[in-house]
Amino acid sequence: MILGIPDPQILLGYGLAIGFTLACIVYGLLNWNKGGNGNGS
């Protein structure tokens, strides 16, 4: 039991929710200045 939660599926859910959030932050930082070409594709 980790953090008082016995079911690994619930823990995995929390892990993925936090993991995806971190992925959003990392993606934003890594691509902070990429794609700045106005209207172009």
Partner 1 sequence: MAVNPMTMTILALVYIAITMVIGYIGYKKTKCSEDYLVAGRDSHPVVIALSYGATFISTSAIIGFGGQAANLGMSLIWLTVLNIGVGILLAFVLFGKRTREIGHRLSAVTFPDLMCKLYKSPVLQYIAGFIIVVSMPLYTAAILIGGARFIEPTLGIDYTTSLILFAVITAVYVVFGGLIAVMYTDAFQGTIMLVGMTVLLGLTLIAVGGVTAGCEALTNMAGLVPKALADQGMTGWTSMPALGSPIWFTVITTLVLGVGIGVLAQPQLVVRFMTAKDDKTLNRAILVGGPFILMMTGVAFTVGALSNVYFYNTTGKLAIDAAGGNVDTIIPLFINSAMPDLFVVIFMLTLLAAAMSTLSALYHAMGTALVCDLWGRGRECALSMKAHQFGIVIMMVLSTILAFLLPISIIARATAMFMGLCACAFLPSFAIGVYAKNPSTKAALYSMVSGAVVWFAWTAFFHAAEAKPLGICQAIFGKVTLLGAPWTAVDPIVIALPISMIVMIALQLQYGKEQSAEAAAA
Site residues, partner 1 (CB under 8 A): 1, 3-7, 9-10, 13-14, 16-18, 20-25, 27-29, 31-41
**What minimum distance in Å lies between the beta carbon of 23 and partner 1?**
6
Max alpha carbon distance in the chain (Å)?
52
CB of 35 to partner 1, least distance (A): 3
**Residues facing residue 5 across a β-bridge:** 2
Which residue type sits at 8? P
Neighbours of 11 (CB within 10 A): 14
